[in-house]
Amino acid sequence: MLEEALTRIAAAQDHRALQDVRVAYLGKKGHLTERLKALGALTPDERREAGRALNELKRALEGAFDERVRALDEAVVRAQLEGERVDVTLPGVRTSAGAHHLLTQVTHKLLDVFRSLGYEVVVGPELEDDHHNFTALNFPPEHPARDTQDTFWTTDGRLLRTHTSPVQVRYMREHRPPFRVVVPGKVFRNEAVDATHEAQFHQLEALVVGERVTMADLRGAITAMATALLGSGTRTRLQPTFFPFVEPGAEFAVWWTHPKTGREEWLELGGCGMVHPNVFRAVGYEGVTGFAFGFGIERLAMVTYGVADIRDLYRGDVRVLEQFRGMA
């Protein structure tokens, strides 16, 4: 009986099967129990002898059951550990976080610079009217300077602004000097699109007005911006040119080392000048002077971060854009 019982105990694959075997031998009607009951029919001498043998058998069985219980418990734990094992060689799970577009990064950087110089950031509408975009900025009707800023017109006679300068007019109408403001924003031109021209792009405009604001202040502001972007000692240059809304007017450049070619050269950034008296007249200002400047953000971003084609900034191809993650 022992042999057979041990075989069945070893074969039990879980606690329930083992319990069935236990009942079959040690239960009320189990094989061993039946034999113990049968002892009563024996003579005292036979009973002592057989009783000892049966007790030994019972102990052996109980020991075998206990051992099997432990083994099954252990197997359960082992299986659980196996199942939960961490494979540290598995590839990680990538979580993709978004990032700011390069143009947004460059804009934020510029705004940080100007905020630190005490400028307020203001914005204006992209859908403008002729008055704010041109006339109040001293572009008289039919003036040839308008031809340089061809744009898109709506059927009700409004237009997509060609520059951020109209916000100068809007701001001055609503505020009294002195003030310093910068205006980031989207602008539009009726352009033949190519690698360096888009029908929409972004500008940053600055306007400072007060009692004795001079050209030296303009130069100082541009140099401060260049220094913040390119490091201390950065040189700037103003060269005379014409814009209807400033007099004198200039284009400004910064002396820098081109990141691609390694050459030192002037980088033309934008236009600037002293606010034209006609512009002040249009907004009802008297007895003040001021300077303004404006430049394209795409161009600054492209030369600084080596973007060869402006269209790459707008195609929305993530493979292109993610190269500039966290750059500016």
Chain residues binding ligand DAH by CB under 6 A are 163, 165, 205, 243, 246, 270-273, 292-294
Q: On the CB side of 309, how many CA atoms lie within 13 Å of its CA?
A: 10
Closest CB 209 distance from ligand DAH, rounded Å: 12
Q: Rounded distance, CA 103 to CA 99, Å?
A: 11
Q: How far is CA 282 from the centre of its chain?
A: 43
Question: In the complex, what is the shortest distance from the CB of residue 260 to ligand DAH, in angstroms, rounded to a whole number?
Answer: 26
Nearer to ligand DAH, 105 or 149 (CB): 149
Residue 21 or 297 with smaller CB distance to ligand DAH = 297
CA distance 236 to 238: 7
- Please give the sequence-ordered ranges of beta strands (E in DSSP) within the chain, or none if there are none: 120-121, 127-128, 159-160, 179-188, 200-210, 236-241, 246-257, 264-275, 289-296
- Minimum distance, C-beta of residue 263 to ligand DAH, in the bound complex (Å): 26
Residue among 254 and 292 whose Cβ is closer to ligand DAH: 292
Taking the complex as a whole, how short is the minimal distance between the CB of residue 181 and ligand DAH, in angstroms? 11
Is residue 183 exposed (0-12), middle (13-18) or buried (19+ Cβ within 10 Å)?
Answer: buried
C-alpha span between 48 and 60 (Å, rounded)? 18
Angle (nearest 5°) at CA 187 between 283 and 213: 40
* Nearer to ligand DAH among residue 145 and residue 320 (C-beta): 145
Residue 320 Cβ, how far from ligand DAH at the closest point, in Å? Answer: 26
Nearer to ligand DAH, 17 or 215 (CB): 215
Nearer to ligand DAH, 177 or 271 (CB): 271
Tokens of 206: 């600055």
Smaller CB distance to ligand DAH: residue 105 or 162?
A: 162
Calculate helix-pair angle for 15-26, 2-11, nearest 10 degrees: 160
Q: How far is the CB of 255 from ligand DAH (least distance, A)?
A: 20
Whole-number minimum distance, CB 272 to ligand DAH, in Å? 5
Which residues are CB-contacts of 39 (< 8 A; sequence separation ≥ 6)? 47, 50, 51, 54
Q: How many helices (H) and strands (E) does the chain have?
A: 11, 9
180 neighbors 189 (Cβ within 8 angstroms): no
Angle at 234 between CA 233 and CA 236, to 5 degrees: 130
Residue 158, Cβ density class (10 Å: 0-12 exposed, 13-18 middle, ≥19 buried): middle
Position with the least CB separation from ligand DAH: 271
Q: How far apart are CB 236 and ligand DAH at their closest, in Å? A: 15
Q: How far apart are CA 162 and CA 120, in angstroms?
A: 22
Whose Cβ is closer to ligand DAH: residue 177's or residue 270's?
270
Residue closer to ligand DAH, measured from CB, 295 or 324: 295
User: CB of 216: closest distance to ligand DAH in angstroms?
Assistant: 16
Q: Could you give the C-alpha distances from 172 to 210, 245, 293, in angstroms and in order?
A: 12, 14, 15
